[in-house]
A = this chain, B = another copy of it.
Amino acid sequence: MRISELETPALLVDLDIMEANLARVAAYALEHGLRLRPHTKTHKIPALGRRQLEHDAIGLTVAKVGEAEVMVDSGVADLLVAYPVVGRTKLERLMEVAKKTRITVALDSLAVAQPLSDAARAAQVQVDVFVEVDAGMGRVGVAPADLVPLAKAVHNLPHLKLTGFNFYPGHIKAPDEIGLAALAKVSDIVSALIAEFRAADLPVDVVSGGSTPALYHSHRVKGLTEIRPGTYIFNDRNTAEAGGCGWEDCAATILTTVVSRRPGHIIVDGGSKTFSSDRTSGPGDPTFGLVREAPGSLFYKMNEEHGYIDLRQAARQDFAVGERVRILPNHICVAVNLHEHIYGIRGDQVVETWKVAARGKLQ
């Protein structure tokens, strides 16, 4: 099928670019002796998890039990749930997954670890655990001074196997001077923690970190053993703006149709239910994506099913109703989650159709 035969809006993935992204990160990880455990929240598709495993990933990452249930279909042998799993029935479901594949849970409190231990005992399985440290982001994770006490307590719980610690350096937005200085601080925290774990005779086989914006600087964190990038498979406008990838590395675009026009403006058939309402991460820029066919245009407003594009400063202004434009979204992870299917393309051909199987798996 040709791209022109797709109904819109449709999320397209350029497979040549995607495959280059997978290969580039695999090569980087190999070069620096880092194990690669991609976060699948970006694509939510088992077939793409399998592609990541074929590109030297040692395992995969998910955020939710519902995603884990879907992602086992990738054939993954080592699955990290990088989220504190809370709730009795959710833990029961996770134990069913743990009977199929090795599971690690990242957590930051005994209030999460104790019920996990209980659930693992009831199901007669073992669950690996990372204890999570806040390396500066202020989200999940204990303060560095509290990590070893937590690790000790978890280490003593039956049916859990502490294997190390993890962090998410989400406060590092770009590989610029500020970002690299923050990364150096993260490295200091990590080095100190590894020493503390060893002094306390705690296992620290795994130190798991990494995110997409500063991905290619992950080796600067001394002692890091694995990285968990997500966005890199597709990349997006925010990643390119931050310098975390090149513009030519952006594999995903959203194909839309012009449905209405007036002087200097067009309306396309995608809004916040197609792109998400995520703005650019850059300050002061309120736009929602880049229109490939109209450089200089501004995607300045959205409603649920309408995208407003101002063409007055654009290279082209003569778009007709029915014409199609491809838009690079700000944040691909939330956009994919809005689509039932995404389409793999080569040139003008649609060569793959994937169901976004873990779309909306919130629980």
Say yes or no: A340-B321 contact (C-beta < 8 A), given A41-B304, A64-B305, A334-B273. no
Chain B residues with CB below 8 A from A134, complex form: 262
In whole Å, how far is A2's beta carbon from the nearest beta carbon of chain B? 13
Q: Does A304 lie within 8 Å of B321, measured CB to CB? A: no
Partner of A257 from B86, B142, B334 at Cβ < 8 Å: B86
Residues in A274-312 with C-beta less than 8 Å from chain B: 274, 276-279, 303-306, 308
Q: Does B269 lie within 8 Å of A86, measured CB to CB? A: yes
Chain B residues with CB below 8 A from A259, complex form: 83-84, 86, 112, 140
Stretch at the interface among A7-15, A46-54, A344-352: A7-15
Chain B residues with CB below 8 A from A142, complex form: 262
Stretch at the interface among A155-163, A245-253, A355-363: A355-363
Instruction: State A305–B257 Cα separation when bound (angstroms).
Output: 31
- Number of copies of this chain in the oligomer? 2
Instruction: State A15–B16 Cα separation when bound (angstroms).
Output: 50
Q: Does A321 lie within 8 Å of B257, measured CB to CB? A: no
Say yes or no: A87-B7 contact (C-beta < 8 A), given A41-B304, A112-B321, A277-B277. yes
Q: Does A317 contact B (CB under 8 A)?
A: no
Q: Does A267 contact B (CB under 8 A)?
A: yes
Instruction: State A335–B175 Cα separation when bound (angstroms).
Output: 33
Residues in A18-50 with C-beta less than 8 Å from chain B: 41
A7 and chain B: residue at smallest CB distance = B363
Q: Does A212 contact B (CB under 8 A)?
A: no
In whole Å, how far is A338's beta carbon from the nearest beta carbon of chain B? 6
Q: Does A322 contact B (CB under 8 A)?
A: yes
Q: Which residues in A have some Cβ–Cβ distance to B below 8 Å?
A: 5, 7-10, 41, 63-64, 83-84, 86-87, 89-90, 108-109, 111-112, 134, 138-143, 170, 257-262, 265, 267, 269-270, 272-274, 276-279, 303-306, 308, 320-322, 333-334, 337-340, 359-363
Closest 6 CB pairs of A and B: A111-B321, A7-B363, A84-B259, A140-B260, A63-B305, A340-B360
